Amino acid sequence: MEDNNVTRRELLGLGTVGAMLGLGAYAHAAELTPEQAAYKPAEEVPPTPVTIAIIGLGERGREVLTSLSYLVGVKVSHLCDTYPAAQKRAQELAKTAAFVTDYKAVLADKKVQGVFICTPTHLHKQIVLDALAAGKHVFCEMPLAHIEADAKVIAQAALAQPKLIFQSGLQSRTNPQHSHVKHFIDGRVLGDNVARCVSAWNKKSSWRRAAATPERERDLNWRLSKSTSGGLISEVGIHQVDVASWFLRGYPTSVTGFGSVSQWKDGRDVPDTISAIFEYPGGVRLTYDATLGSSFGGTFEQFQGSGATVLLRGTRAWMFKEADAEALGWEVYASREKVGDETGIMLVADASKLLALGKNPGDNMDKDPKRSLLYFTCLAFLNAIRTGKPNGSGAKEGFAATIVALKANEAITGGTRVAITSEALAL
């Protein structure tokens, strides 16, 4: 190759950064769609002030508050929960916010532009409908609802208000690392054939919460009852299954599931350990496992193809090439890292920024713990309000992901195979 004074940094910029920011592997560049070929990293949105409120101050609501505290240009004007004792812990993160126990008081305040709905899943529907009717932008945690009919009502109400931002909490879709890897996969670096997909979530946790009264304990432990919860696949697995649907550009046509209470034998009627196999068009299958009985293995999404395997863990990702895969041209310059017994090519979403700062992406492996998936999804909601532009995690995506998860929960609790028809996914 002629030198032409090209430096290693420039090569990194052309190869590692160009390919990994979605321009695709050069060997497959001609196969990219015009939209993919024109892909550029999203421009920074000026952090103009946005006034929001949090409805629901349980564990998730406080996590949202924590992420918002790291962002610029956000004012939390109201904190809302029906349980007054939730005020103290929440207001440590939003000291100037008003605390109310009736969410309608939040919706009546014209200064509130958007609301984060972080209540238990079975309480989402009426709050979402009232918030949209009040002209508020809405962020609704996933799943949209614990029954299919409610999910459809929510999605249809959101679609009927096109001037309002409705963001479903599919946090992987607004995570730069996942978006980055998707453009990479769109460039067909997995090869001509996708062999299989594997995802897992492992965390030792009973999910049970103690309370002073039986009534409060019942309210806190809504996830442990099938009357108010879609179980592990709906409350947790929905995000990882949606990543597969997003990357594979389609939704599964059926799911076979199994579930058991293997660890926490405390009267719950929701399995604490589950397995599911999702069948996608073209014969691709996703195997999904989750448990509350062990933390070993953590959380990951893995996509295996004839040319390479891509592994994602939170805000990090790697590619492992097959020995007989064709050369892509840029990988000789890419940074590598040991992952278990394998050595992977690092997929660094913010590589271009690091290079602009004169840093090698491979030397900056440690991630800021504040910049979590939740941080980025909160930022995406604020930016959507600021720009008036949806971000690809709207009502349609949230509805489809919810239906897939609820069908999977039906299969898991019944130990059977359940079809996922196009009619079930239609709005």
DSSP E strand stretches across 83-193: 98-100, 114-117, 137-140, 166-168
pLDDT bracket for residue 33 (50, 70, 90): very low
Burial of 40 (C-beta count, 10 Å sphere; 0-12/13-18/19+): exposed
Range of lowest pLDDT (116-125, 295-304, 356-365, 382-391)? 356-365
Fill in the amino acid letter for 395: A
pLDDT digits (tens, 9 = 90+) for 234-264: 999 999 999 999 999 999 999 999 999 999 9
Look-up: residue for tokens 């999977």?
408
Between 135 and 11, where is the model more confident?
135
* CA 359, 360, 361, 365 torsion-angle sign: negative
pLDDT at 10: 35
Residue 421's pLDDT band (boundaries 50, 70, 90)?
A: very high
7 pLDDT exceeds 50? no
Residue 407: predicted pLDDT? 98
In sequence order, the 6+-apart residues with CB closer than 8 A to the CB of 340 are none
Residue 187: band (very low, low, confident or very high) from pLDDT cuts 50, 70, 90: confident
Backbone Cα Rg of the chain: 22
Q: Tokens 């599964």 map to which residue?
A: 252
Burial label, 210 (beta-carbon count in 10 A; 0-12, 13-18, 19+): exposed
| Tally of helices (H runs) and strands (E runs) in the chain | 15, 16
pTM of the model: 0.89
Q: What is the pLDDT of residue 29?
A: 31
Would you state the pLDDT for residue 353? 57
pLDDT digits (tens, 9 = 90+) for 281-328: 999 999 999 999 999 999 999 999 999 999 999 888 999 999 999 887
Place of tokens 């309370």: 211
Q: Please state, in angstroms and rounded to a whole number, the distance separating the CA atoms of residues 233 and 290.
A: 8
Task: Give residue 12's pLDDT band: very low, low, confident or very high (50, 70, 90).
Answer: very low
Asked if omega into 143 is within 30° of 0 (cis), the reply is yes
pLDDT digits (tens, 9 = 90+) for 192-220: 889 999 999 999 999 999 998 999 999 99
- pLDDT at 366 (0 to 100): 52
Q: Tell me the CA distances in angstroms from 323 to 62, 145, 195, 305, 386, one per residue in order.
A: 47, 45, 16, 12, 47
Cα 38 to Cα 133, 150, 182, 288, 383: the distances in Å are 37, 38, 14, 33, 21
In this structure, what DSSP letter does residue 242 have? H
The residues, any chain, with a CB within 8 Å of residue 69's CB and separated by 6 or more, are: 93, 94
Alpha helices (runs of H) in 21-147, residue ranges in sequence order: 34-37, 59-69, 86-91, 103-107, 124-133
| Confidence category of residue 55, pLDDT binned at 50, 70, 90 | very high
Residue 346 near residue 361, CB atoms below 8 Å: yes
Contacts of 155 (CB under 8 A, 6+ apart): 144, 395, 396, 398, 399, 427
Q: Please give the order of strands across the beta sheet that includes 316-321.
A: 336-339, 342-346, 316-321, 308-313, 299-305, 194-202, 285-291, 273-279, 254-260, 417-419
The encoded tokens of residue 121 equal 């899943």
- Which segment of 19-28, 197-206, 363-372 scores lowest on mean pLDDT? 19-28
Contacts of residue 4, Cβ cutoff 8 Å, sequence gap at least 6: none
Q: Which residues pair with 115 in a beta bridge?
A: 53, 138
